[in-house]
Amino acid sequence: MGAAVGTEEGGKRSVNCELNIVPFIDVMSCLAAFLLITAVWVNIAQINIQPKGKNRDITQVQQDDEHVTLSVLVQADRIWVGLSRVNEFQEIPKKGEEQDWEKFETTLKEHKASAFFADRTDIEVAGESTSQSPVTYQDVIHAMDVAVKVGFIDVGLTDPAGLAARPQM
Amino acid sequence: MPVHSAGPRLYHSVKFRHLVKHTGSAAENRASNVSMNLVPFVDMMTILVTFLLMVFSATGQLLQAQKGLELPIADSRDTLQLAPVIIVTKSEITYQGQLVATTESVLRDDSPTFKIDALYERLDAAAKKIKEEVGLGKLPKDLAKACEDAKQNIRPQPGKICPDGLAILQADESTDVRLINKIVNTSKAAGFDNLLFAVKNK
């Protein structure tokens, strides 16, 4: 490769010249090596949460009692979506080996579109795990991720006893 | 070293006479200088460098790789920021690289406080230190502004959250939620009421 300028007209001497690209290749090689070494191949992100729970935070209890709170309880075999004060609960049973995330997302979208939550972004999530039916961190993260995607960006994580709306079984 | 004009070097600087002897070119008195075509090489390097520059992260690595730790997967793309890191692997809980407790012992503990005492002590000390630094104004401008905004309930930008009460939880995807609940409770009790859950992008 090189830049060549040629004027062969009239029998004059050739003015062809070649650009020396060796330094360019050197710089490119060094840059490529540096970038390859420093590259971060795993993309790590974050989900921001606030620890919540009316059993531990007195001011939160007063706030919670004033308005309807959307609560999500992740269990090993189902997910509950409930509204405090109204005491309405929707049960989303597991679909095969995995939770039914599609239905969960649809349910949250419906709630987001409702009059209660159209202008609100808060939600509380809890995972109820026992040694017999454990709930994994991945499931809770998935539930929070779906909530953020739907528009509930103020996710609060609490323990099951701290949920504003808890299904009675 | 003498400076030569640009052009093919083979046969002058690089002695390949012994090779040329065995080829037909020397016998036929043809020029045996070989000019290698570097165009594809330069093209490839340019593409490689462009790609690497695009994926280059100037923020550095905030999290340490841990043996036996697989982060949960999520769609969220909010960037992480520097904060104290609580790491939960399949077998142990560490804070800033120091072992705090084993997961088994924490799961066995049924204390009514719902806290991990060893972790609480460390977090409490760290929270006080961070609060002091924030109070003394030892923060970069953008973070100081984030702290001011937080007082007025203004939502911070991802990656620009006030460090007061901010911690990162880097836990394995298969961790029992009971353990996460205990860690979140402990963090809150120690003053860390803003947690960043580290996740891996799909």
For chain B, give every domain's residue range. Answer: 1-56, 73-201
Residue A10 has pLDDT above 80, yes or no: no
Number of domains present in the structure of chain A: 1
Question: What is the domain-level CATH number for residue A142?
Answer: 3.30.420
CA-based nearest residue in chain A for residue B41: A25
Chain A residues in contact with B56 by the CB 8 A cut-off are 35, 38-39
For residues B118-134, b (16+ Cβ closer than 10 Å) or e, as one string? bbbebbeebbeebeeeb
Comparison of pLDDT for B172 and B15, the residue scoring more = B172
Which of A138, A145, A163 to mutate against chain B (most B CBs within 10 Å)? A138
Q: What is the DSSP string of B52-102?
A: HHHH--TT---S---TT--PPEES--BPP----EEEE-SSEEEETTEEEEE
Residue A50 has pLDDT above 80, yes or no: no
How much is the pLDDT for A80? 93
Residue A145 has pLDDT above 80, yes or no: yes
Average pLDDT over residues A96-112: 91
Helix (H, G, I), strand (E, B) or coil at B10: strand
- A124 secondary structure, DSSP code: E
Place of tokens 């729970």: A53
How much is the pLDDT for A101? 92
Min Cα distance B17 → chain A (Å) is 24
Would you say the pTM of this structure is higher than 0.90? no
At B197, which helix (H) or strand (E)? strand B194-201
Does residue A43 belong to any structural domain of this protein?
no
Chain A residues in contact with B14 by the CB 8 A cut-off are none
Beta strands in A4-130 (DSSP E): 44-51, 70-74, 78-83, 88-93, 122-127
Which of B154, B177, B186, B195 to mutate against chain A (most A CBs within 10 Å)? B177
The predicted-structure confidence for B144-183, as pLDDT tens digits, reads as follows 888 888 777 777 777 788 888 889 899 999 999 999 989 9
Residues whose CB is less than 8 angstroms from the CB of residue A131 and which lie 6 or more positions away in sequence, other chains included: B107
CB B157 within 8 A of CB A10: no
Assigned token pair, A62: 């007063």
Min Cα distance A123 → chain B (Å) is 15
Check: complex ipTM more than 0.90: no
Does residue A106 belong to any structural domain of this protein?
yes
Does residue A168 belong to any structural domain of this protein?
no
Does residue A26 belong to any structural domain of this protein?
no
| Range of the structural domain that residue A67 is part of | 49-162
Residue A136 has pLDDT above 50, yes or no: yes
